[in-house]
Each structure stands twice: as structure tokens, then as C-alpha cells.
Amino acid sequence: MKILFVNKFLYPRGGAETYFLKIGEELTRRGHEVEYFGMYDEKNTVGNALHLATTNMDFHNAGPEKLLYPFRILYSFEAKRKLKQVIGQFQPDLIHFNNINFQLTPSVICAGAECGVPMVQTVHDVQMLCPNHMMMEFNSKKLCEACMGQKSKWPCVKKRCIHGSLPKSLIGAVEGTLYECNHVYDKIDRFICPSAFLEEKLLTVPRFRGKTVMLHNFLSRVAAAAPAEKGDYVLYFGRLSEEKGIDRILEACKLLPDIPFVIAGSGPMEDLCKNCTLPNVKYVGFQTGKALEDLVAGALFTLHLSIWYENCPLALLESQSLGTPVLCNRIGGIPELVEEGRTGILNDTFTPAAYAEKIRALYADKPLLAEMSAHCIQKKDRMMTLERYCDQLLALYGDVLKNA
């Protein structure tokens, strides 16, 4: 089978990129032909035979070309034209879309449809329902579903939901309204949802009904056995951003001076962690590979305290696979991944004081932590692996092709 993966970034940048790059590697190993299309970047690790990619758009660039970005992120004629060239040369049996908005735009879906190629898309976030991808008001940080299923995305402008900026919010609202009204997503044959929560949200919109399938994400790597002894620290690892709750986590750390914390990761709030002067907080920067595995496996438990509709966070799965229980907010798809009291604890109040209370109680209960760690290790054999995921994915591909 020939599969063409389309994603705006073509290098290991985040969860979505880890997802499709790992799948591409596994499908290639199984003898399938795989090519990729996305935006040019010197960090790209994959591509296509024609070496075609869209022009790089750096939203932090202050050059004159930035004046064209509002038009390019609404509908990219360049992406559509180049993708049709790649399709013509590669002749894929199926196109698998991932994150395409802004840098590529859904114009690439039009390219696939015009070439008559069956298409599936993995829905990594709620972008199809909400212009700011988060279903959260930017200023108040309150969850918001005002735009969901609506043709007009005017609430995004009214609330300035994209970075608090009126121009950015207007562009996002226009983009959402454009693709809501031109029915571009109707051209996709099947939507892969990494959580039942996200599938449920999609199914509130009639166009998605009968087109969804739920597949939890796979572990991106086979975890080593957990160490014989745990360290004496609580760990947060992942993106350092407001929606992930890192600022609230640091406030909770301040309320718990006798509990050691380790923070690992990078992101827009990295400076807040670097400059943290709390004596019980150690920031170790961005970690990968064996160093990250050891850090996670040695923690008493890890924190996953997102305040937005998290979908299926890989960090949470990796923590459990390494024998480390999790403390999580009950939001989005997170509760689907946690066996309450066995592999983790769920929290319902998203404040530093509530976090501190939960952390203090869990840190003090070493017998419960040991019991949950054992349950996590037992659960690892039941968790989705890349191999199992690709078995199900190929079956889905086959079903789509049969009905095309």
C-alpha cells in the first residue's frame, strides 16, 4: 500500500509529529511505501521524492513577507498545488492528514479530493470545533464551547480568544467560518479520534456522524523496567505552558516547602521555571531518551494538571508504563487513561490550593504509591503499542479503500 502522510511540521516537534513519524517508520518496516508532505524546515527528517514542501512561515519573523500570512493561513494555493504534484508522482492509495491548519490549511484536503484519493485524518485537538484549538477563553481561562457546531465563529473575535489579539482572533474566526461553510471536512472519509471524549465532541456536529473511530494513542517507545527503588521527588514533565497548568503547579509547590519537585520540559513558560527560586523545585530542562525514562521511572508520581480539554497525552501514558502513578485533572480525555486509585488519582478542583492538598496526601501515602506503581507495571502489557496500533490502522485503511 502507498500512504502519503500530510502534516505541517515534518520533524519531531510534538505529540502529533511523534505520532505520524512513528507510524510511518512502522509501516515502512512492514513493506508499505510511505511519503510525506508539509512545510519546509531545515530540521525536517522526512519528505517526498519530488522534494516538495510549502514555504516556511515563521510567525515570529518580522520581515515584509509576514504581511501575506493572514491570506496564506486561510487558504494556501501553494500547498494545494504542490500536494497535487506529489500525489501525481507518488500515486498514493490513501492520504493520512494530521495537523494541517495555518501553515498548510485545509486546501490540502481539496487537493486530495480533486485527485480522487481516499482520505483519513487524525484529530489531534479540537481545532475543527474551536478557532483557538483549545475551547478556552484566552483571558479568563474558562472552558468555552460557544463556537462548537456554529457556522459563525464570531465569539472568538468578541472574546479575543487567540492570544488576546483582535486581528489574530478575527483571522481565526474567518478561517473557522470559511471551512464550516464550504464543507471541506465532508471530503474526509474517516476521522481518527485519540479519545472517546473528543469523538463525543465531534459527534455533536452532524457532518462527523458515521465517520469517526476512536483509537487511543500508542506508547511512542517500549519502556524499560521500573527501578527497584523510587527517588524522593514529584515530577512534572512536558510542555511548559499555561494550558498545561505549569504556573498553578509552581504555586502549589510554594505551598509544599517540604516536598521536593522536579520539572522537565520546554515551552513558552520556560523562563518561569528557569527563574524559579523555590528551594524545593529543581528545573532540569528538556529531557529525552534514557535520561527522561530514568527521571520518570524514579518519580514517586507525576503531575498532569492541564486546565484545557486535553485529548490523549503521551506523557501520562509513558508515566504509567514506567511504573509511575499519575495525579491528573479530571478533564477532556484524561479520565479514560486513569484507573482511579490503581494507576492514578483524579482531581476536580483546578486551583493551587487543591493541587497542594492532593499532592500532600499522596506524597504521604507511601503504601498506596507502591501499590499503584505495581498496578501501573501490570497495566503496561495491556497498553496500546505501536505494533497493535498499526494493525488496527491498516484495518481501518483497508475498510476506507473498500468503501471508496
Express each pLDDT in 359-368 by its tens digit. Answer: 999 999 999 9
Do 264 and 393 share a domain, yes or no?
Answer: no
Averaged pLDDT, 294-320: 93
The DSSP output letter for 319 is H
Of 14-28, 61-75, 278-292, 299-313, the poorest mean pLDDT is in 61-75
- What Å distances lie between residue 238 and 233, 246, 266, CA to CA? 16, 10, 7
- Name the residue with higher pLDDT: 205 or 251: 251
Do 181 and 97 share a domain, yes or no?
Answer: yes
Specify the residue for cell string 479530571: 330
Q: What is the pLDDT of residue 129?
A: 84
- Name the residue with higher pLDDT: 307 or 68: 307
Do 274 and 181 share a domain, yes or no?
Answer: no
Residue 185: inside a domain, yes or no?
yes
pLDDT tens figures, 167-206: 888 888 888 787 777 789 999 999 999 999 999 999 988 8
For the cut 60, the answer to whether the pLDDT of residue 210 exceeds it is yes
Averaged pLDDT, 30-50: 97
Residue 226: inside a domain, yes or no?
no
Categorize the per-residue pLDDT at 66 as very low, low, confident or very high, splitting at 50, 70 and 90.
low
Categorize the per-residue pLDDT at 146 as very low, low, confident or very high, splitting at 50, 70 and 90.
confident
The number of beta carbons lying within 10 Å of the beta carbon of residue 128 is 23
What element of type H or E holds 140? none
Do 174 and 248 share a domain, yes or no?
Answer: no
Burial of 80 (0-12, 13-18, 19+ CB in 10 A): buried
Do 35 and 98 share a domain, yes or no?
Answer: yes
Categorize the per-residue pLDDT at 236 as very low, low, confident or very high, splitting at 50, 70 and 90.
very high
Cα–Cα nearest to 287, from 297, 300, 276: 297
Contacts of 255 (CB under 8 A, 6+ apart): 352, 353, 356
Contacts of 214 (CB under 8 A, 6+ apart): 192, 193, 194, 195, 196, 199
Do 38 and 98 share a domain, yes or no?
Answer: yes
Categorize the per-residue pLDDT at 93 as very low, low, confident or very high, splitting at 50, 70 and 90.
very high
Q: What is the pLDDT of residue 170?
A: 85
Residue 17: inside a domain, yes or no?
yes
Q: Phi, psi (5° rounding) for residue 370?
A: -65, -40
Do 136 and 266 share a domain, yes or no?
Answer: no
Q: Phi, psi (5° rounding) for residue 229?
A: -130, 140
Number of structural domains (the chain) is 2
For the cut 80, the answer to whether the pLDDT of residue 70 exceeds it is no
CA 367 to chain centre: 33
Average pLDDT for the chain:
90
Do 245 and 362 share a domain, yes or no?
Answer: yes
Q: Phi, psi (5° rounding) for residue 117?
A: -95, 130
- Per the CB < 8 A criterion, the answer to whether 55 and 70 are in contact is no
Categorize the per-residue pLDDT at 223 as very low, low, confident or very high, splitting at 50, 70 and 90.
low
Q: CATH number of the domain at 93, please.
A: 3.40.50.2000
Do 392 and 371 share a domain, yes or no?
Answer: no
Sheet with 234-239, side-by-side order of all strands: 281-283, 261-266, 234-239, 301-304, 326-329, 344-347
Categorize the per-residue pLDDT at 154 as very low, low, confident or very high, splitting at 50, 70 and 90.
confident
Do 211 and 241 share a domain, yes or no?
Answer: no
Would you say how long the chain is, in residues? 404
Contacts of 162 (CB under 8 A, 6+ apart): 131, 132, 138, 156, 168, 169, 171, 172
For the cut 70, the answer to whether the pLDDT of residue 126 exceeds it is yes
Categorize the per-residue pLDDT at 221 as very low, low, confident or very high, splitting at 50, 70 and 90.
low
Question: Which domain does 370 fall in, by range?
Answer: 234-380
Of 65-79, 236-250, 338-352, the poorest mean pLDDT is in 65-79
**Percent of residues, the chain, with pLDDT higher than 90:** 68
Q: What is the pLDDT of residue 227?
A: 58
Do 194 and 62 share a domain, yes or no?
Answer: yes
Q: What is the pLDDT of residue 65?
A: 54
- Name the residue with higher pLDDT: 223 or 138: 138
Q: What is the pLDDT of residue 50?
A: 98
Residue 224: inside a domain, yes or no?
no
The DSSP output letter for 257 is T
Averaged pLDDT, 387-397: 97
Averaged pLDDT, 385-390: 94
Residue 223: inside a domain, yes or no?
no
- Name the residue with higher pLDDT: 100 or 381: 100
Residue 267: inside a domain, yes or no?
yes
Residue 331: inside a domain, yes or no?
yes
Residue 333: inside a domain, yes or no?
yes
Do 204 and 339 share a domain, yes or no?
Answer: no
Categorize the per-residue pLDDT at 74 as very low, low, confident or very high, splitting at 50, 70 and 90.
confident
